[in-house]
Amino acid sequence: MKVKAPYRADQLKTLAAMAAFSGQTLQTCIDARIVKTGFDPITSRFNFMIKDLSERGQLFQARQLLDQMPNRNSFSTDIIISGYVKSGNLTVARRIFDDTIERTVVTWTTMIGAYSKSNRFGDAFKLFAEMHGSGSEPDYVTYITLLTGCNDLKMAKRIISGGLDSARRIFMEMGGWDSVSFNVMITGSYRCQYRHMLGLGKVKESTDLFQELQFTTFDRKNFPFPTMLSIAAGSLDLQMGRQLHAQVVVSMDDPDFRVSNSLVDMYAKCGKFEEADRIFLKLSSRSTVPWTAMISANVQRGLHENGLKLFCEMRRANVSADQATFASVLKASANLASILLGKQLHSCVIRSGFMNVYSGCALVDMYANCASIKDAIKTFEEMSERNVVTWNALLSAYAQNGDGKGTLRSFKEMILSGYQPDSVSFLCILTACSHCRLVEEGLKYFNDMAGVYKLAPKREHYTAMVDALCRSGRFDEAEKLVGQMPFEPDEILWTSVLNSCRIHKNYALARKAAGQLFNMKVLRDAAPYVTMSNIFAEAGQWDSVVEVKEGNEG
């Protein structure tokens, strides 16, 4: 049952006028209206006072008032449960929930949402199952609440396969939609899909609903522009972002900070840094989102010092950094190979409470780039939670620092720990084997990809394996492997072959590799021409040197 909103100011003025005209008090008139609508005026008064106390954080007094109510209703219980949930006291909230006989969908959803937000998804899902078993039907808000908080990807996919469809069906059937209903569905659908990385195609649910919202008569100022701008940013859809920006300009004289922050994020992620910077500088209130967007934009462009300078300004403005912020500044520190700065950021991450698998991976990568493998290993060992990504970060750290045996040893430890390697794991292994001339080991793992782990080698895996064979002078095997590739060799592969040919003085294959490179429509730089010219010069083939130089100039 929907509970009507409190009286608006104009309604209270009307009631006051009626009271004055009839000689009655305002409270009497309000009570009369309450009785007329079928509610108990005493219960309504109690509910109002409980709500007021709960919102002010006076939960003990609110609970006492609830216990004194002669006729409480489901709304009374929902208010007090919501109050304890907002205060973070889930134990008391659950106790009241368990004592409640008449539970509405709001009661169930409030408690499920509390568990989800507290990362207690097991409890949330048990309660969701109990709700189904009790015969109470979840509404679209229940599904969205459950999905948004789900940390288990497999479980989320199972729920989503029916959950979003069910939420959509309930939403379409309920009728009497308002802008809030649309916003909940659009934002909730996007959040659960984004959280579980179910692919850009999955945001179609949100975009379709937004299209439907366009044809309503609702006030456009209340449209979920931040959510839609996040979708445009996530899918790098600049055209969609510009269209949304145009709607914002038409709908709002002064967009609120959430919309402006989302505009900065969208333009920065779509590579329109000047537009992002222009909006950013005009912001009167800057949240974490635009600061992070601008820091990330500078780091992406290689302006690492600028990114770090912005981070310092953000700290001075007393704006809290989040996981994405730290990922960007750690990347900047890694690219600058500044171990001192990296350690300061490491301390900052710990103090801010963002020490998790994501920041842990960024720290391992940063220490590896700074050639501090000991710190990288120490950071990995101190991580309380690990997954395939964290193991890959460790494998990459060893590979970057030329420790092939360390890479192979860590790979075996990863398998023994029960983690299934992915394509990134094997790329780290093959890269390490290539750099450390561990050809036989490289061949074994390359064959194991498809044979044991059912992973099809990608272009980069073939390139790493060909490079390993060429570095060891095993050119016949390398050529054979190139012929077996399910795609055309690219510039990176032929450049790798050419460089090894120079070291091992394989002039015939060098000429073939150079020919492949010179025939490419787009060549990133002149390095292959220089390498081939040097090869001919070392072989005393001066006519060929002149020919190559003329080809480069032409």
Q: Tell the burial category of 3 from Cβ atoms under 10 Å away from its Cβ (0-12, 13-18, 19+).
A: middle
Q: Is residue 402 part of a domain?
A: no
Q: Tell the burial category of 21 from Cβ atoms under 10 Å away from its Cβ (0-12, 13-18, 19+).
A: exposed
Cα–Cα distance for residue pair 3/182, rounded to 1 Å: 18
Pick from 356, 385, 414: which residue ends a domain?
385
Pick from 359, 385, 411: which residue ends a domain?
385
- What percentage of the chain has pLDDT greater than the value 70? 71
Cα–Cα distance for residue pair 154/161, rounded to 1 Å: 11
Q: Is residue 25 part of a domain?
A: no
Q: How high is the pLDDT of residue 306? A: 93
Residue 340 — very low, low, confident or very high, per pLDDT cuts 50/70/90? very high
Q: Is residue 310 part of a domain?
A: yes
Q: How high is the pLDDT of residue 66? A: 76
Cα–Cα distance for residue pair 517/531, rounded to 1 Å: 12
Q: Is residue 413 part of a domain?
A: no
- Number of independent structural domains in the chain: 2
Q: Which domain holds residue 362?
A: 286-385
Residues 6+ apart with CB under 8 A from 459: 485, 487, 490, 493
For 460, how many CA atoms within 13 A lie in the half-sphere containing its CB? 9
- The pTM of the full predicted model, rounded to 2 decimals, is 0.60
Q: Is residue 378 part of a domain?
A: yes
The 10s digit of each residue's pLDDT in 40-95 is 566 767 777 888 787 777 778 887 887 777 666 677 888 888 888 888 788 888 98
Q: Is residue 60 part of a domain?
A: no
Q: Is residue 364 part of a domain?
A: yes
Q: Is residue 524 part of a domain?
A: yes
The 10s digit of each residue's pLDDT in 228-277 is 888 888 888 899 899 989 988 888 877 777 888 889 889 988 989 899 99
Pick from 358, 385, 412: which residue ends a domain?
385
For 529, how many CA atoms within 13 A lie in the half-sphere containing its CB? 16
